[in-house]
Copies of this chain bind each other. A is one copy, B any other.
Amino acid sequence: MKFAKIPMATINRLSIYMRTLQEMLEEDVEVISSERLAKQCGVNPAQIRKDLAYFGEFGVRGVGYRVNDLVVQIKDILGLNRPWNLAMIGVGNLGSALLRHGNFTKHGYIFTAAFDVDPKKVGKRLPNGITVNHVDELEEKIKEKEVLIGLITTPAGEAQGIANQLVLAGINGILNFAPVQIQVPDCCHVENVDFTIKLDSIAYHLSVGS
């Protein structure tokens, strides 16, 4: 292990390794080689070893990696050894589907607040027990509920304004589902999810025929 700048791609792959390893745990696999994990994840074995080498030595030479240990180590690396409170801003089709989506909870992400501007939605109690607040209460509730990451599922036009409010409320992680590029100060980390961009990529590949 050495001290170096970690490639962004490495971080994303660590998540993928972790998920694959967790599946394997459920199938009672105790030890795994980089070769087998690589095949499962669709990457090069050396890639996995390099990725892990940024953070330490987690394997046993001649043997492989203990699956359970490696999951714990990766969680440590990513900061997932504790819960992360989320807020959903925008309780429309997508927002409410995500609020009900079990996959977040499974990985330690907990919705503790939800916001909308629609009077018909404000005050409604959601299946997970939280109540929809008006966006006017954003800052107050975000601090009260100790939210650390905001998910934006508003229409495109509202997204930037919401992002500004989130930053003012002290949030510095945003997952943006709105189809616009939002601008934030450096202290805030934004990740975008745009399904149609992925579709464009598929369309391209089908068009050029590879």
Q: Which of A's residues lie within 8 Å of B, judged by CB?
A: 8, 11-12, 14-16, 18-20, 23, 40-42, 77-80, 84, 86, 93-94, 96-98, 100-101, 103-104, 107, 109, 148-149, 172-175, 179-181, 183, 189, 191, 193-208, 210
Partner of A206, one of B189, B202, B205: B189
Contacting pair B201 A193 (CB below 8 A): no
Contacting pair A172 B15 (CB below 8 A): no
Given A19-B179, A78-B207, 20 other A-B residues pairs in contact with their CB atoms under 8 A:
A8-B201, A12-B200, A12-B201, A23-B180, A40-B181, A79-B203, A79-B207, A80-B200, A86-B199, A94-B98, A97-B98, A103-B195, A109-B199, A173-B203, A175-B199, A189-B205, A189-B210, A191-B198, A193-B195, A193-B198
Contacting pair A198 B175 (CB below 8 A): yes
Contacting pair B173 A202 (CB below 8 A): yes
Contacting pair A97 B93 (CB below 8 A): yes
* Min CB gap A130→B, angstroms: 16
Contacting pair B196 A191 (CB below 8 A): no
* Min CB gap A44→B, angstroms: 15
* Min CB gap A103→B, angstroms: 6
* Min CB gap A72→B, angstroms: 15
State the CA gap A206–B189 with chains docked (Å): 8
Partner of A193, one of B11, B23, B100, B193: B193
* Min CB gap A165→B, angstroms: 18
Contacting pair A196 B16 (CB below 8 A): no
Contacting pair A101 B94 (CB below 8 A): yes
State the CA gap A90–B84 with chains docked (Å): 28
With a cutoff of 8 Å between Cβ atoms, the chain B residues found around residue A12 in the complex are: 197, 200-201
The 9 listed contacts between A and B (C-beta, < 8 Å) are A15-B197, A23-B180, A78-B200, A80-B200, A80-B203, A93-B96, A104-B195, A173-B205, A193-B198
